[in-house]
Every structure is written in C-alpha cells, then in structure tokens.
Amino acid sequence: MIRSLAFSDWRAQSITDPLSFVHKLNQPLDFILYAGDDVARFQDGGTNYFAELSKLTKQGKVLAVIGNDDIPDVRRVLDAEGVHDLHEDPFSLGDFGFIGLEASTCGPGLTKHSEEEVAEHLEEQYLKLKGKRLIVVSHTPPFGILDRGIRFAREDEYTHHIVSAAIVTHMVDFQLNLEGLQSST
C-alpha cells in the first residue's frame, strides 16, 4: 500500500497549510503529489516548500508537474532536493510507476501541449515503466472525469471541457498492455 497526499492549484491558500496538515497526520506518507499551477509560490526566498514537504515523507519525495498557468521557467522550483519533476522523468516505487503530465491541451495557458505531444509523451514515459501499475499525475483532467470548467468559457456556454482525450486513450491502451503482460507470465 502507498500512502500519499495529492493536491494542485494552490493559488490563495496559505503556503504553509500543507506542512501543517502533514504534521498532523497519524500515519506517515510515502510521498506527496502536486499536480501543478502556481508552482512559483512554493519558492519563497531561500525556502523551497516542496523540499520542506519532501522531508516529511518516508521516501523523501514530492512528485510534481507544472500547470497551464505556470511559465516553463518555473520548473526550476522542481529542481530542489527531494523534489521530482514527473513530466521530465517518471518515478518508480515497487510495483508502481508514476507518470507526469504538465500543463493543458486546450483553453488559455502559459504552458500548453497539443494532444499529439501528450500522446507521444505518455507513450515515452510508459515505455520506461512497462509492467508497472501506472499512476498518472496530470494537471489537465482526462476526458469525462471532472473535466468541466467555468473559467474561460464563452458567454454562450456555461461550462466547457478542459481536458485531454489522449490521457484516456493511452491509459486504456496501457491497461490492456499490462493485463496482457500479467496473463502471459
């Protein structure tokens, strides 16, 4: 069993709230997952709050990606001790493999990738973790799962899809490949 804390879009909340929350937990976490946006807030002067959070985990890791509202240069915040940029490099723990997908595929954003780029990225990462039980840490939601947004919707629509279809397509393919590997052994 893996115990983790996952959160994203930490825009206005106190930057120290996650530290306080983790301190109050009765059982230690293996690691913390951050799915992007406002990553720059986690670097304040000489303090990298992701690095501080990593010290509170058994694995000494925060696994993170940047969001669509982050500029690509903010990736430097993910270069700290104990912080792992999942978009750049997948992570493995036992039978589990973690794949990262930063940014978004539609709507406005400072960091975006096309569906084709997402599909290629997922395939490359999957090949590095073949045979693992996959967990995807993605800033953009997969189609059909919490994928409706009000922000940036046109006036004539109440909400719109803020999704990546490639995530759904590739995760189904990966699961089928994993099942095939398990049945052949």
Name the residue ranges covered by the structural domains of the chain. Answer: 4-184
Burial of 137 (0-12, 13-18, 19+ CB in 10 A): buried
Distance of alpha carbon 182 from alpha carbon 4, whole angstroms: 26
Distance of alpha carbon 63 from alpha carbon 56, whole angstroms: 13
Choose among 41, 62, 59, 40: nearest CA to 51: 62
| Least confident range of 12-21, 97-106, 128-137 | 97-106
- What is the pTM for the complete model shown? 0.82
Helix or strand holding residue 47 (H, E): strand 47-48
Task: State whether CATH 3.60.21.10 applies to domain 4-184.
Answer: yes
Q: What is the DSSP letter of 138?
A: E
Reported as a single tens digit per residue, the pLDDT across 89-126 is: 999 999 999 999 997 776 667 887 787 888 889 889 98
Cα-flanking dihedrals φ and ψ of residue 179, to 5°?
-65, -40
